[in-house]
A and B are shown apart, each in its own frame.
Chain A
Amino acid sequence: MTDNQLPTSYSRRNVLKQFGTGLGLLALPDLLEAAPGPLTTKAPHYSAKAKHIIHIYLNGGPSQVDTWDYKPRLKDYFGKPLPVSLPTEREVGVALPSPFKFKQYGEGGLWCSEIFARTAAKHADKICVIKSMYANTPNHEQSMRLMNTGDERLSRPSYGSWLTYGLGTENQNLPGYVAMCPGLPVADSSNWRSSFLPGIYQGTYLDTRNDTVEKLIANIRNSRLSRAQQRNQLDLLATLNRDHQKLRLDDPNLESRMQSFELAYRMQMEATDVFDITRETQATQDLYNASTVHGRQLLIARRLVERGVRVVQCFHGDVQPWDTHGGLKDGLRSLGAQADSPIAGLLTDLEQRGLLEDTLVVCGGEFGRTPATEIPIGGGIGTGRDHNHHGFTVWLAGGGVKGGISYGNTDEFGYRAVENRTHVHDLHATMLHLMGIDHTNLTYRHSGRDFRLTDVHGKIIKDVIS
């Protein structure tokens, strides 16, 4: 896009123009509301229902044929090679029918296995299951980056950074984009990086192995200065930095760092509250199973979107827990036990509070798994599945999504997306669309050209939008 196509221009130069002068005002807390900053709410390209995203990231590659993509035909090939075989990371063997029971749920009759039985039983009619997802590469790192940033290899901004850049956020006391994980997922901070977008849009990462505010966000409290004194410090700091910047135009880093101090100051007020889940009733905590890390994360996610945070990602666990190369039966059962009731709880809670309407919930991993067994190193039949980027499942709910439907299909074994094939770029285009952003029009000029999340790809999946 060019700078004059839209009333609100998001080019780097204009962002600097608009906000570079706003800093002096920011220093005065009374005028905070009025002062535009890089995180100030900006109008979407068109009106849309979704204002927030909670992305429940089942990192490691959850198996579609054991959860939402029911493939009874696999039983016919039990112990035999499938007629389809596609290149994945490792060598695969015979068909592995799902060891889990499947049922149809809700008016839409969505199939789901016992792994997500609670979520399906309570919420099937809110959920839209996209069964025809595909990605490019059967490797975690690349596919994690693709799912989060739209590019497998290069340093590109995450979709959360893009959305925060494009829409700002509704709560100036909290980061616009928060990424939570007990530990670190594969590809670490590249999953939530801002890359060439200003650093203020980077996801703020929280290690949710920690259960108190002080541990979640180091240095959240000042033990020596009162708030008034700290405000005094920041006012002087802003004055000095502004003078410093006058002679150093066109360095977005200087501006970003100034903003980071203001955000840090404001976070001190709000963060001590928002991350303290003990302020919830016992009933709400129980609804999420909040004594577990997965429940706690999702409850914090709800508290964050309730306070206006734009994008919240909850990664299931350290490294890649859903990577069930072996021991699939027990492994998936235990992962499901961790994830299912918190997810069901989240959807219930969002609905009860009227938040589901404007919160888009996304759930899935970076790819799926093969319907055939992975042959273990050293031979044998195998008890798990290999990575599969040819076909996998992601579901959406809330935020203007059509519930109780499934979209697209894999082949009869769940190997490859064949009907309404949906690339990750298409998912991104749709997510942005649901948030009121035209993915082809949210651009940022860097290194001499305009960049966008979906590069030259991406088509909006109209059929999933209500």
Chain B
Amino acid sequence: MNSFNLCRFLTCISAVVLSTRLAYAAVDFEKDVSTVLIKRCVECHDTKNAKGGLDLTSLAGLVKGGESGTAVTPGNSSASFLIERITSGEMPPPVKGLPQALPAEEIKTLIAWIDEGLAWPSDRTLDLYEQTTDVRGGRDWWAFQPITNPPLPTPIENMTSKNAIDLFIHARLQKQGLTPAAPATRNQLLRRVYYDLTGLPPSPATVAAFNNNDSENAYEKVVDDLLSSKHFGERWARHWLDLVRFAETCGYERDQLKPNIWKYRDWVVAAFNDDMPYDKFITDQLAGDEVPYRDEQTLIATGMIRAGTWNDEPNDPADYQYTRLEDMVHTTSSAFIGLTVKCARCHDHKFDPIRQTDYYRFANAFWSGFIGQANLGGPSEKELGATAFGWTDRSAEVAPLHRLINGERQKPAEVVRPASLSTIPSLERVFDPPPENSKTTTQRLQLAKWITDPNNPLTSRVIVNRLWQHTMGEPIVRSPNNFGFKGELPTHPALLDYLSTQLLQHEWKLKPIIKMIVMSHTYRQASQHRNHLEYSEKDYLNKYWWRANRKRLDAEQLRDSILATSGQLNRASGGPSFYPQMSPEALEGLSRKAGAWGTSTVDQRNRRSIYMMTKRSRLLPLMTTFNFTDTTLPCGQRDVTTVATQALALLNNQFIHQQSLAFADRLFTEHPDDSEIRIVSAWRLATGREPIRAEIDASQQHIAEQSEHFASVSEFALAQSSSLSVKEGLSLWLDATKRLEIDKESRVIAWGDSSGSSLDGQQPIDAAQGEATTRPLYVPDGLNGTPTIRFNGSNQYLKLTAAPITNPHFSIIAVARDNSDGTSHREILSNWNSRGRSTNSVFLGTTKNHSIRFSDAFNQAGQLPDATMPFLITASNSSEAAQMFLNGTVVADGNPITGRVLTGPYVLGTQGNYNSEFWLGDISEILVYDRALSRSELDQIWGYLAQKYKLRLAVGKSDPHRLALASLCHVLFNTNEYIYID
């Protein structure tokens, strides 16, 4: 359209408008005009960056016009450039190629407004953020409004529940023409509330007691017990750790351990268990170094600030400080107030009333801290004043923080003073400078005060929303970390406010709110509804809560449950984290710089998942497969996926095999004589209910079939044996009943090898001692009536004539007794010596408290249960694992021992220097295999040694019935009933 036509066209429009104008009421500036201007114009034409020189936030700006001249002619819209630009479609400009033309109604409004004389109240200045439009949230956005104390809805007809939550929920259901589901069964309810409050299943005894308790407050009693259980904090702390992107290492290539950060995890657990008021909970984490009651615990709490990733070699360390700042702002703002403040680092927030200066106001809280590269990016323990991984300021001086244009360090703008966000004007405040004699800037303390101000509507809404989420399965605001414009609206705004009000009335204590929720009918209703199909057509996502949500166990609940069910769960609380067993495949690729994976005893490995080492570069695949949190960003809600790789993990992973066997062993131990009771008990333990007949029958049939399979496999069938049949790879076999050369004092001159092998063409390896004074003693009936060699623990030992081990994968098996008091290192077999072997030798021995060492790479390899008793010890190092067995049972499982020097000299009864760590006790037989042995081979060897030395091995280890029962247990672990909680 050329300009002549355009003019004509506009004239036509104006004529039409003028002629119809009288039909409309006079235009109201506030109601009609300001909304259009804010929604369509002010984004670009504000005072700060008036595009084209035009400022449309005030009458003065409008009248002044822009670079293209006057914008409006009062009383004459057709002569107004503003209208011309709008009607031509030039303004607002197209976005992403899509025209943004104004709706005809809005154009009419503007035309009428101009024609009526441009009414604009004096002193009225428009602000882009003052109101919500269809493209962004303003300060009138629901989440920023004061919390109302909503009246309780009238109970609906026939309603029995008096719980306030139910009043809100049922009123909404009624409005939608829906009714709540019937109550869940007692079994379902108990299981549900156990998992939600503690992350663990109820024991069969608890189930029985609850079912037999008819009293009215039986359920309430359970709830109270669970809320006061130490397991409550262990469950709920995990939700919090997700929110503050907690892990115990720095991430990146070196992935250093953050020393003592586990204390923060313990602090969070304790805070939940003690029901620490939530305002204190926030304050301690943000400003535990600045609070008047500062102590070691509050300093530990500040670990939250530096629990994120940390790069030890950023491309540009100065830039990296701003990256860290963003991590801290993002974590604290999303966790505490549910806003995406970080989006305002480079520009004003695109969707929420958060200005770029707000980001820098908020970020100021952390800017005066130890944000540089020293000491893993924070204060040293000395600077902090506690043995903790926490945070504090460098001094009381507030370090100036510039707003950065486009977020770029090279483009600093003005210095921004520490202050609250401007989002909620009634709460807006500039933070005070630190008081005299302060050691810190107190900016974080003031930020905490602003966040925990009872009038701050975000803080309490955000946390009660999370409490609802972690009990009900979905939050009321279904974007728990974003209460802004791009988040979801609350499904039940009045209920959200009611719960927030209750939180404040309970002085920020969380347990009363959780109790209120789990006591409601809404929580206690069934997950299936009699009108299920019809209702789910109407409300598939169950936003109205016409039923309970069926929940899948998360990674921690699943692993902890399996351990609890198998009877292996170690319920010890707190302390440094354990290292779970990792497959060699999972460990491969771990950067050498990132350090070795640690080892923990079996007992430690059976602790709850919250105590598992979270090494960012090496998370346990079993956990990540089941949607463990991404530890680099705050996570308000985990994904729930269902993929075949999860099924593979639960079918084939070593952990599930081990726990299935342990579960079977538990059943055999508890019910040794009755196979049906074992099955019933398995069901009770796994499902929390009584099995029906058909289930028992199916289980029995499974056991019968599987044991037939197992029995047909000959390797499982053997028990005790009178001879050794596994000879392949046997490189050393010293047997005290054979080939001994002794002096006249019965001291061993030489102990000949019976293996018959000759590695690398050498002669059979013998053990010998030339020096008469250091020869161990031959005792003909010294060990359970059979011969043994006795070492005095101070100077006696035997030297091997050659190295029995040449292969990195090998097995050492010995029958021995430890007569020491268990106070120091003592060796059975060793090639350690001081010439460069301090970290790469092979040895097997005991140390303090009779715990077992199998080289220093696997130095916590179980413990002798009764030191004075003879024992059968087996140390095995394969490509998959290093394992320690005592009397036929695995006592420690570790990663393969690597990097060993395998050459001699090897010695028996001391370390390779011959000068220390002397064995005190007996060695009757020792076998070394220059390869890793299979379990069935070990079974054979153990059968032989157990019979010979009258040793009691763990009974029935290879029994087909045991393996078949384990197979049933395995199936029960995999059922949908096990993993989905009604």
Residues of B contacting A263 in the complex (Cβ-Cβ under 8 angstroms): 644, 647
Contact call B709/A228, Cβ cutoff below 8 A: yes
When the two chains form the complex, which single residue of A217, A233, A257, A447 contacts B540, counting CB atoms closer than 8 Å? A447
Residues of A contacting B834 in the complex (Cβ-Cβ under 8 angstroms): none
**Are A229 and B706 also in contact (CB < 8 A) when A214-B585, A253-B980 are?**
yes
Contact call B642/A251, Cβ cutoff below 8 A: no
**Are A236 and B645 also in contact (CB < 8 A) when A224-B657, A264-B651 are?**
no
Closest CB in chain A relative to B251 CB, distance in Å: 14
Residues of A contacting B653 in the complex (Cβ-Cβ under 8 angstroms): 218-219
With both beta carbons as reference points, the residue of chain A lying nearest to B537 in the complex is identified as: A448
Contact call A253/B649, Cβ cutoff below 8 A: no
Contact call B96/A136, Cβ cutoff below 8 A: yes
Contact call A218/B645, Cβ cutoff below 8 A: yes
**Are A229 and B976 also in contact (CB < 8 A) when A204-B644, A219-B649, A249-B533 are?**
no
With both beta carbons as reference points, the residue of chain A lying nearest to B968 in the complex is identified as: A236
Contact call A377/B647, Cβ cutoff below 8 A: no
Asked if A175 is an interface residue, CB under 8 A from chain B, the answer is yes
Most buried by B among A137, A221, A256, A260: A260
| Distance in angstroms between the alpha carbons of A241 and B972 in the assembled complex | 10
Residues of A contacting B552 in the complex (Cβ-Cβ under 8 angstroms): 253
Contact call A244/B654, Cβ cutoff below 8 A: no
Contact call A230/B651, Cβ cutoff below 8 A: yes
With both beta carbons as reference points, the residue of chain A lying nearest to B528 in the complex is identified as: A248
When the two chains form the complex, which single residue of A193, A215, A219, A224 contacts B588, counting CB atoms closer than 8 Å? A215
Interface 1/0s, chain B 547-581, versus A by CB < 8 A?
00010100000000000000000000000000000
Contact call B695/A240, Cβ cutoff below 8 A: yes
Interface 1/0s, chain A 203-226, versus B by CB < 8 A?
010000110101101111111111
Contact call A219/B975, Cβ cutoff below 8 A: no
Residues of B contacting A199 in the complex (Cβ-Cβ under 8 angstroms): 641-643
Interface 1/0s, chain B 606-636, versus A by CB < 8 A?
0000000000000001000100001000000
Interface 1/0s, chain A 238-252, versus B by CB < 8 A?
011101110111110
Give the number of residues in A that approach B within 8 Å (Cβ atoms). Answer: 63
Contact call B657/A233, Cβ cutoff below 8 A: no
Contact call A236/B971, Cβ cutoff below 8 A: yes
Contact call B533/A250, Cβ cutoff below 8 A: yes
Asked if A237 is an interface residue, CB under 8 A from chain B, the answer is yes
When the two chains form the complex, which single residue of A200, A249, A264 contacts B648, counting CB atoms closer than 8 Å? A264
Residues of A contacting B974 in the complex (Cβ-Cβ under 8 angstroms): 233, 237, 261
Closest CB in chain B relative to A437 CB, distance in Å: 24
Asked if B652 is an interface residue, CB under 8 A from chain A, the answer is yes
Contact call A257/B533, Cβ cutoff below 8 A: no
Asked if A83 is an interface residue, CB under 8 A from chain B, the answer is no
Contact call B528/A244, Cβ cutoff below 8 A: no
Contact call B652/A220, Cβ cutoff below 8 A: yes
Report A434-457 residues with CB < 8 Å from chain B CB: 446-448
Asked if A2 is an interface residue, CB under 8 A from chain B, the answer is no
Asked if B848 is an interface residue, CB under 8 A from chain A, the answer is no
Residues of B contacting A134 in the complex (Cβ-Cβ under 8 angstroms): 97
**Are A223 and B540 also in contact (CB < 8 A) when A218-B585, A229-B706, A237-B971 are?**
no
Closest CB in chain A relative to B488 CB, distance in Å: 11
Residues of A contacting B205 in the complex (Cβ-Cβ under 8 angstroms): none
Contact call A223/B652, Cβ cutoff below 8 A: yes
Asked if B442 is an interface residue, CB under 8 A from chain A, the answer is no
Asked if A420 is an interface residue, CB under 8 A from chain B, the answer is no
Contact call B642/A200, Cβ cutoff below 8 A: yes
Residues of B contacting A251 in the complex (Cβ-Cβ under 8 angstroms): 550, 980
Residues of B contacting A253 in the complex (Cβ-Cβ under 8 angstroms): 550, 552, 640, 642, 980
| Distance in angstroms between the alpha carbons of A226 and B716 in the assembled complex | 13
With both beta carbons as reference points, the residue of chain A lying nearest to B408 in the complex is identified as: A377
Interface 1/0s, chain B 400-425, versus A by CB < 8 A?
00000000101000000000000000
Residues of A contacting B640 in the complex (Cβ-Cβ under 8 angstroms): 253
**Are A219 and B643 also in contact (CB < 8 A) when A209-B589, A240-B977 are?**
no
Asked if A25 is an interface residue, CB under 8 A from chain B, the answer is no
Residues of A contacting B698 in the complex (Cβ-Cβ under 8 angstroms): 236, 239-240
When the two chains form the complex, which single residue of B96, B644, B645, B975 contacts A244, counting CB atoms closer than 8 Å? B975
Most buried by A among B541, B709, B974: B974
Closest CB in chain A relative to B749 CB, distance in Å: 45
Contact call A261/B651, Cβ cutoff below 8 A: yes
Contact call A237/B709, Cβ cutoff below 8 A: no
Interface 1/0s, chain A 176-188, versus B by CB < 8 A?
0000000000001
Asked if B536 is an interface residue, CB under 8 A from chain A, the answer is yes
Contact call B645/A217, Cβ cutoff below 8 A: yes
| Distance in angstroms between the alpha carbons of A260 and B410 in the assembled complex | 52
| Distance in angstroms between the alpha carbons of A438 and B705 in the assembled complex | 50
Residues of A contacting B976 in the complex (Cβ-Cβ under 8 angstroms): 241, 244-245, 254, 257-258
Most buried by A among B643, B654, B709: B643
Contact call B705/A232, Cβ cutoff below 8 A: yes
Asked if B952 is an interface residue, CB under 8 A from chain A, the answer is no
**Are A267 and B642 also in contact (CB < 8 A) when A214-B585, A446-B540 are?**
no
Contact call A260/B977, Cβ cutoff below 8 A: no
Asked if B638 is an interface residue, CB under 8 A from chain A, the answer is no
Closest CB in chain A relative to B373 CB, distance in Å: 20
**Are A223 and B657 also in contact (CB < 8 A) when A244-B975, A254-B980, A258-B976 are?**
yes
Asked if B671 is an interface residue, CB under 8 A from chain A, the answer is no
Closest CB in chain B relative to A135 CB, distance in Å: 9
Contact call B709/A226, Cβ cutoff below 8 A: yes
| Distance in angstroms between the alpha carbons of A243 and B585 in the assembled complex | 37
Report A267-307 residues with CB < 8 Å from chain B CB: 267-268
Report B687-724 residues with CB < 8 Å from chain A CB: 694-695, 698-699, 702, 705-706, 709-710, 713
| Distance in angstroms between the alpha carbons of A314 and B967 in the assembled complex | 38
When the two chains form the complex, which single residue of A212, A218, A233 contacts B971, counting CB atoms closer than 8 Å? A233
Closest CB in chain A relative to B904 CB, distance in Å: 34
Most buried by A among B540, B588, B709: B540
| Distance in angstroms between the alpha carbons of A88 and B699 in the assembled complex | 64
Asked if B979 is an interface residue, CB under 8 A from chain A, the answer is yes
When the two chains form the complex, which single residue of A218, A233, A258, A261 contacts B967, counting CB atoms closer than 8 Å? A233
| Distance in angstroms between the alpha carbons of A219 and B975 in the assembled complex | 18
Interface 1/0s, chain B 519-539, versus A by CB < 8 A?
000000001100011001110
Residues of B contacting A193 in the complex (Cβ-Cβ under 8 angstroms): 641
Asked if B7 is an interface residue, CB under 8 A from chain A, the answer is no
| Distance in angstroms between the alpha carbons of A54 and B111 in the assembled complex | 56
Asked if B646 is an interface residue, CB under 8 A from chain A, the answer is yes
Residues of B contacting A379 in the complex (Cβ-Cβ under 8 angstroms): 410
Residues of A contacting B971 in the complex (Cβ-Cβ under 8 angstroms): 233, 236-237, 240
| Distance in angstroms between the alpha carbons of A215 and B552 in the assembled complex | 27
Asked if B306 is an interface residue, CB under 8 A from chain A, the answer is no
**Are A267 and B648 also in contact (CB < 8 A) when A202-B641, A223-B654, A232-B706 are?**
yes
Contact call A260/B646, Cβ cutoff below 8 A: yes
A contact residues vs B (CB 8 Å cutoff): 134, 136-137, 175, 188-189, 193, 198-200, 202, 204, 209-210, 212, 214-215, 217-226, 228-230, 232-233, 236-237, 239-241, 243-245, 247-251, 253-254, 256-258, 260-261, 263-265, 267-268, 377-379, 446-448
Known: A137-B96, A447-B540. 12 other contacts (CB 8 A): A202-B643, A218-B586, A218-B625, A220-B648, A220-B652, A228-B709, A229-B706, A229-B710, A233-B970, A236-B699, A248-B528, A260-B642
Can you list 23 A-B contacts with CB-CB less than 8 angstroms, sorted by A residue number? A175-B644, A210-B585, A214-B585, A218-B648, A219-B653, A222-B652, A223-B657, A233-B967, A236-B698, A237-B971, A237-B974, A240-B971, A248-B528, A248-B982, A249-B533, A251-B550, A256-B642, A261-B647, A263-B644, A264-B644, A264-B647, A267-B644, A447-B540
Q: Which 4 A-B pairs have the closest CB atoms?
A: A199-B642, A264-B647, A219-B652, A219-B648
B contact residues vs A (CB 8 Å cutoff): 96-97, 408, 410, 527-528, 532-533, 536-538, 540-541, 550, 552, 583, 585-586, 588-589, 621, 625, 630, 639-649, 651-654, 657, 694-695, 698-699, 702, 705-706, 709-710, 713, 967-968, 970-971, 974-977, 979-980, 982
